[in-house]
Amino acid sequence: MTGTPIWYELMTPDPAAVAPFYRAVLGWEIPAEGHAMPNGADYRAIGRTDGGNAGGVLTLTPQMAEHGVKPAWFPYFHVDDVDQAVAKARDLGAPVFIPPTTMEGAGRMAMLADPQGASFYLMEPTPPPDRPDAQSDVFKPRAPGHCWWNELQTPDEPASTAFYTSLFGWSAENAMPMGEKGDYRFIEHDGVGLGAINPWMPDGMPVSWLPYFGVADIEAAKAAAESSGGTITHDIHEVPGGDFIFTATDPAGAPVAFVGGKGA
């Protein structure tokens, strides 16, 4: 599991303001009330239509905003030992924002950024007592409501590739030329395609991880996104393999992407 995405977290100032957007596009439910956190924020688990969790929502407090945190999605990557992984990431040039911390009932985690500035979490999860062999299914390509693709928006693909392959042991042999900006580098883990490292950053896109969440009908998803307060930043277009994608910002401004087929 090391290097596999196991959770996605949305930081947003008002969860109630974005809940209708994610309900309309993905069928997710974001609870009206959250669990209080030590820093004054609160946390909500996102419910999928199949009864599982798609990730979580952390309230972005004014204090966090004062430090430059903006609405965004962040991935959690599984590691066997958070402390060792953080030490290795530091050696590779990563700044650490939240040092290794144990969250009761959830596991041990840390938040850091790669040397180019994309933030992410490392986590050594604690499985539920009644399901000691439980594994995350938030990343599950081809299943609507789950993440299908993880795309790193970065100004330096070779440096980013070197960092993540060293940290997680990902393979990144395959790439698609993108002209003067370099290569769109595909990342795999144990033969499973996780996503790609993208050197062609759209205007206004921060250095960040961008999740692509799966939908059953891409045109219906776009219409739902627009009617529920989202802004389309890149219209529907086909990608290799026959799927269609579009990118957007949710009502609070967090970049997000969607992938799926076209309805009959």
The DSSP bridge pattern shows strands 53-59 and 192-198 to be unpaired
Q: What whole-number percentage of the chain has pLDDT above 70?
A: 99
pLDDT per residue over 65-89, tens digit each?
A: 888 889 999 999 999 999 999 999 9
Q: Which run of H or E residues covers position 7?
A: strand 5-12
Structure tokens at 257: 């992407």
The answer, yes or no, to whether residue 33 has pLDDT greater than 70, is: yes
**Given pLDDT bands bounded at 50, 70 and 90, which one contains residue 132?**
confident
Domains 5-125 and 147-260 share a fold: yes
Sheet holding 42-47, edge to edge: 35-36, 42-47, 53-59, 5-12, 72-78, 119-125, 107-113, 96-103
Query: What would you measure as the largest C-alpha separation in the chain, in angstroms?
Result: 53
| Mean pLDDT, range 137-153, rounded to an integer | 96
Positive or negative CA dihedral for 158, 160, 164, 166?
positive
pLDDT in the model for residue 114:
98
Q: Which two tokens stand for residue 233?
A: 């930043």
- Between these two residues, 132 and 77, which has the higher pLDDT value? 77
Query: For the residues 134-139, what does the mean pLDDT come to?
Result: 90
Helix residue ranges per DSSP H, 169-235: 218-227
Confidence category of residue 264, pLDDT binned at 50, 70, 90 = low
pLDDT, averaged across the chain: 93
State residue 138's pLDDT score: 97
- Whether the pTM exceeds 0.75: the reply is yes
| CA-closest candidate to residue 216, choices 257, 248, 249, 263 | 263
Pairwise CA distance, residues 110 & 241, whole Å? 35
Query: Is the separation of the CB atoms in 221 and 25 below 8 Å?
Result: yes
Asked whether residue 93 carries a pLDDT value surpassing 60, the answer given is: yes
CB neighbours (10 Å) of residue 199? Answer: 23
The domain over range 147-260 is classified in CATH as 3.10.180.10: yes
CB 71 within 8 A of CB 251: no
Closest CA to 237 of 249, 227, 229, 247: 247
Q: Name the class of domain 5-125.
A: alpha beta
Say whether 63 sits in a helix, a strand or coil. helix
Q: What is the pLDDT of residues 190-222, one digit of tens each?
A: 889 999 999 988 777 899 999 999 999 999 999
Residue 22: phi, psi to the nearest 5?
A: -70, -30
pLDDT tens digits for range 39-74:
778 999 999 999 999 999 999 988 888 888 899 999
3-state secondary structure of 120: strand
* Least reliable range by pLDDT among 91-105, 123-137, 144-158: 123-137
The Cα 211–Cα 139 span in angstroms is 10
CB-based contact 122:83 (threshold 8 Å): no
Which residues is 110 bridged to in the sheet?
122
One-letter amino acid identity for 252?
A
Q: Where are the domains of the chain?
A: 5-125, 147-260
* Mean pLDDT on 88-116: 94
